[in-house]
Amino acid sequence: MEFRTLLLLTLLGLSLVEQGFGQRGDVDVREWLSAKEELIKKLEDKLKDVERWRSEVKALEVRLNETVDELTRQKSEVERLNKENEGLETRLNATEKEVDELKQNSGKAPQIAFSASLANFGEIYKGPCTDKTLIFKRIFSNTGNGYDNNTGVFTAPVNGLYYFSFSTYGYNTHVMGAILVKNGIRQVSTYDHPSDDGSDSSSNSVVLRLAAGDKVHMELWDKGRVFDNLNGHTTFSGFLIFPV
């Protein structure tokens, strides 16, 4: 409304300074005034239009801003969901990997088993000697590579219960037999005194709980002696019963 008043005043001002004003006749002035009034009315109508448009534009801008706000909100919601999804996907991937590993390992304990005899060619009389470790050189099987036929030592690859068996053979001139040793400590053995009966053979077995890295080997008694050839009289075997 202020704008309109201003406009009217301006028009009035213009008409007052218009050249020749006051020198016209009454008729002329009336005509002139009614022409001006008409003009003013037209301008007022235009002004109303402008005001209407302006408020329409304002309303549109409000709606546009609301739409922009809504889009911004939705965009950040989508971003949040994407992040959440990614987190879930990472967890899902990890879980899938675990399940795969479990599947692969289920019903499939580590495969550990070995069997060896003392001689891998010819004949061997072992003992009496200072290095009493029996090195069983001829390998029948060594799944899991726990047994080393260079040292005669079995090293447990995993924690578990293990079964060991061994047999020793020899002649009556010496103590015949051997001792199963775990980490330097004697466990079970075979033994036969020197006697008149020509040859001796005996065997034994044990179940041991071993931790990964524990070592088991066989050794002679003091002054003991064992014999072997390719008949496999003197042997050492072991396997994992189950992991613990």
Ligand X SMILES: *[C@@H]1O[C@H](CO)[C@@H](O)[C@H](O)[C@H]1NC(C)=O
C-beta neighbour count of 215 within 10 angstroms: 16
Closer by beta carbon to ligand X, 121 or else 242: 121
Smallest separation (angstroms) from ligand X to the CB of 131? 15
Q: How far apart are CA 197 and CA 130, in angstroms?
A: 27
C-beta neighbour count of 68 within 10 angstroms: 10
Closer by beta carbon to ligand X, 147 or else 164: 147
Binding mask 74-93 for ligand X (x = CB under 6 A): ------------x--xx--x
Residue from 128, 137, 201, 206 touching ligand X (CB under 6 A): that is 137
| Secondary structure letter of residue 12 according to DSSP | H
Smallest separation (angstroms) from ligand X to the CB of 117? 10
C-beta neighbour count of 224 within 10 angstroms: 25
Closer by beta carbon to ligand X, 34 or else 151: 151
C-beta neighbour count of 132 within 10 angstroms: 19
The yes or no reply on residue 203 touching ligand X (CB under 6 A) is: no
**Kind of pairing between the strands at 113-117 and 235-243:** antiparallel
> Rounded to the nearest 5 degrees, what angle is found at the Cα of 105, between the Cα atoms of 101 and 110?
135
Residue from 133, 143, 149, 202 touching ligand X (CB under 6 A): that is 149
Question: Is the preceding peptide bond at 128 cis, omega within 30 degrees of 0?
Answer: yes
The yes or no reply on residue 120 touching ligand X (CB under 6 A) is: yes
Q: How far apart are CA 118 and CA 139, in angstroms?
A: 9
Q: Which stretch binds ligand X (CB under 6 A): 61-69, 156-164, 182-190, 211-219?
A: 61-69
Closer by beta carbon to ligand X, 25 or else 122: 122
Smallest separation (angstroms) from ligand X to the CB of 80? 16
Torsion sign over Cα 25, 28, 32, 37: positive
Closer by beta carbon to ligand X, 28 or else 84: 84
Maximal C-alpha separation, the chain: 170
Residue from 49, 61, 84, 100 touching ligand X (CB under 6 A): that is 61
Smallest separation (angstroms) from ligand X to the CB of 138? 6
Query: Which residues contribute to the site for ligand X (CB under 6 A)?
Result: 61-62, 65, 86, 89-90, 93, 120, 137, 139, 149-150
